[in-house]
């Protein structure tokens, strides 16, 4: 992905080029093809370009009074271009993405985001209105961070570029650290925090604005919400649903196939194989001109799985070149805390090598991320119980007519069982958390609230899928403390507004039950063994890693002084001698944080 940076001096003093260039230099590895800056007094914009197709042009990009830096892919152009022309703005179907972004803003002002589909993070400067606008795409596939410190506003797709500003401190955000230790993924609870006190994260589907004539007041707001009340799609025949799915999903996959060489990250499951089958059809039909390679990551000896077998079946059926990447040689060993923020990463060097190999195979990747959430099934019993009686009766009768038999409702046990949403049967709350640190920030209550979370709106037909889709930040890029990592774009067709709205408007049965939609849609295109394969979780990889030779250090690591404010080291239970508690991931978090604390200052 390309890198971008923006700096605004709120007091009106000119931006110092030397300071800005040092920050932008951090992003050179992201964009080796072209780097440029644009400085106009108190405003500076910079960009590092990674070119994957003809639509990737050098930035900063200026059109009339608007200057933009972005990483952006605009989808659904066949709908956007006519809308722009109706608004009096001439635009071509093959226009560069950043040009369409600028023209949409000129056409609709701040409402332009409601007209855009795709993956994007950008900063826009309107010189006439003396206003800065920055936004992230609807699902947050691309990140955007910002800091307002010492009379300056800094924005970038990388935390580390912002940290290079002299007024941004290295102080940590204790709430983020505590959420990492107790929840694992801090963004489950709060999407605005980062590991650093001075730096914030713009949530998905949000826009940030600052108008300098209004004393530099910064505001953020949500510009889009996944609809919860689209009417149910009512077709008479199953084939009509399948045909419409192929149309919607095909557009989502095609829009993400801009590069000349594309890697399809292929597991043996339905989500990634459906993407691969669609991509192959698009290439065969001439709709897309690209070289495809299937890429599968497997555990062979340390944590045996069947992904190699099923992915090979799919690749062979589709006629894809297939590369299998075995992860056994990447142990549970330090250093692990090499990311820009603490994360649950357990195999040293694996992410770097995974990135290196995939980038050698193509400029962009397609992956099945989000498929499980989009197709998350809910029992008909639970759906009917949440509806008004007349609506429940009408839906039940409609399902009976469509299926040709009485629809299975499922969920009888839960229907007659009292549930307590504050109880969670997953990972336990860690008792090694420092008591004073816990009381200061109420982490136990935050832990409870995380597992009791519900979205603002209830979806009538697919409540589980809607909850899962809306609760997470879907960032698909990784950032390391050192300037290294993935340049190419990772795209996920299931993280597409059109796909999600279509699936959420389907009748509950039969489409999401056991991913029936994919099993039917790809009959004849994928091997029968793949289509009939049941969902196969990866299992407890961490436990398998702890059973390998040479991991005794996991119980013997020495805490850095900074860890003491968060964790009671002596209270962490041994892991090598007690590998089957099911809580290994929880008890490894202090070690991961400790390693990161020893590295984050550089």
Q: What is the pLDDT of residue 468?
A: 94
**Could you say which DSSP state residue 556 is in?**
T
Contacting residues for 587 by C-beta, under 8 A, at least 6 apart: 430, 432, 572, 573, 575
Per-residue model confidence as pLDDT tens digits over 360-404: 999 999 999 999 999 999 999 999 999 999 999 999 999 999 999
DSSP 345: -
pLDDT of residue 283: 98
Strands 61-63 and 118-126, by their bridges, are unpaired
Stretches where the chain sits below pLDDT 70 are: 214-215, 411-426, 486, 578-581
Cis peptide before 510 (omega within 30 of 0): yes
Q: Note the Cα 567 to chain centre separation in Å.
A: 29
In angstroms, the Cα distances linking 27 to 34, 405, 485 are 11, 59, 11
pLDDT of residue 421: 43
Please give the Cα distance from 155 to 88 (Å, whole number).
Answer: 31
User: For residues 569 and 593, what is the distance between their CA atoms, to the nearest angstrom?
Assistant: 12
Within 10 Å of residue 591's Cβ, how many Cβ atoms? 24
């Amino acid at each position: 992905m390309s890198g971008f940076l923006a700096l605004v001096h709120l007091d009106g003093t000119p931006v110092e080029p030397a300071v800005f260039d040092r920050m932008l230099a951090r992003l050179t590895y992201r964009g080796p093809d072209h780097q440029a800056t644009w400085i106009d007094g108190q405003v500076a914009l910079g960009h590092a370009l990674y070119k994957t197709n003809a639509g990737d042009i050098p930035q900063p990009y200026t059109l009339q009074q608007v200057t933009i830096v972005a990483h952006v892919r605009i989808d659904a152009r066949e709908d956007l271009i006519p809308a722009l022309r109706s608004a009096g703005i001439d635009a071509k179907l093959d226009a560069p993405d950043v040009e369409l972004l600028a023209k949409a803003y000129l056409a609709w002002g701040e409402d332009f985001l409601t007209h855009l589909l795709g993956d994007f993070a950008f900063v826009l400067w309107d010189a006439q209105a003396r206003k800065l606008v920055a936004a992230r795409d609807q699902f947050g596939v691309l990140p955007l961070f910002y800091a307002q410190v010492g009379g300056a506003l800094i924005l970038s797709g990388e935390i580390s570029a912002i940290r290079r500003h002299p007024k941004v401190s290295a102080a940590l955000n204790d709430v983020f650290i505590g959420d990492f230790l107790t929840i694992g993924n801090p963004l489950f609870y709060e999407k605005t925090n980062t590991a650093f006190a001075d730096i914030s994260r713009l949530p998905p589907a949000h826009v940030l604005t600052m108008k300098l004539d209004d004393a530099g007041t910064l505001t953020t707001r949500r510009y889009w919400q996944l609809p919860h009340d689209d009417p149910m799609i009512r077709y008479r025949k199953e084939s009509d649903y399948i045909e419409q799915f192929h149309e919607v999903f095909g557009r989502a996959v095609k829009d993400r196939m801009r590069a000349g060489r594309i890697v399809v990250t292929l597991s043996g499951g339905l989500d990634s194989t459906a993407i691969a089958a669609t991509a192959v059809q698009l290439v065969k039909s001439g709709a897309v001109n690209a070289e495809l390679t299937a890429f599968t990551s497997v555990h062979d000896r340390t944590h045996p799985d069947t992904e190699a077998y099923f992915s090979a079946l799919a690749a062979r059926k589709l006629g894809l070149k297939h590369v299998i990447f075995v992860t056994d040689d990447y142990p549970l060993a330090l250093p692990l805390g090499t990311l820009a923020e603490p994360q649950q990463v357990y195999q040293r060097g694996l992410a770097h090598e995974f990135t290196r190999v995939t980038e050698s195979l193509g400029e962009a990747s397609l992956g099945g991320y989000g498929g499980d959430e989009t197709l998350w099934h809910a029992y008909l019993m639970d759906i009917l119980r949440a509806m008004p009686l007349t609506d429940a009766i009408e839906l039940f009768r409609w399902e009976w007519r469509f299926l040709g038999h009485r629809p299975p409702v499922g969920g009888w046990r839960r229907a007659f069982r009292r549930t307590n949403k504050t109880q969670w049967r997953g990972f336990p709350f860690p008792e090694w958390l420092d008591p004073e640190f816990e009381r200061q920030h109420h982490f136990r209550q935050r832990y409870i609230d995380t597992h009791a979370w519900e979205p603002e709106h209830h979806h009538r037909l697919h409540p589980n899928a809607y909850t899962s889709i809306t609760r997470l930040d879907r960032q698909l890029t990784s950032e390391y403390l050192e300037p290294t990592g993935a340049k190419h774009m990772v795209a996920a067709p299931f993280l597409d507004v059109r796909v999600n709205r279509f699936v959420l408007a389907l009748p509950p049965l039969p489409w999401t039950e056991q991913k029936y939609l994919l099993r039917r849609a790809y009959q004849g295109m994928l091997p029968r063994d793949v289509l009939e394969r049941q969902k196969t979780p990866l299992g407890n990889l961490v436990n398998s890693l702890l059973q390998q030779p040479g991991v005794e250090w996991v119980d013997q690591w020495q805490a850095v002084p900074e860890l003491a404010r968060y964790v009671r080291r002596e209270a962490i239970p041994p892991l090598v001698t007690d590998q089957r508690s099911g809580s290994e991931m929880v008890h490894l978090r202090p070690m991961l944080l400790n390693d990161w604390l020893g590295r984050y200052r550089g």
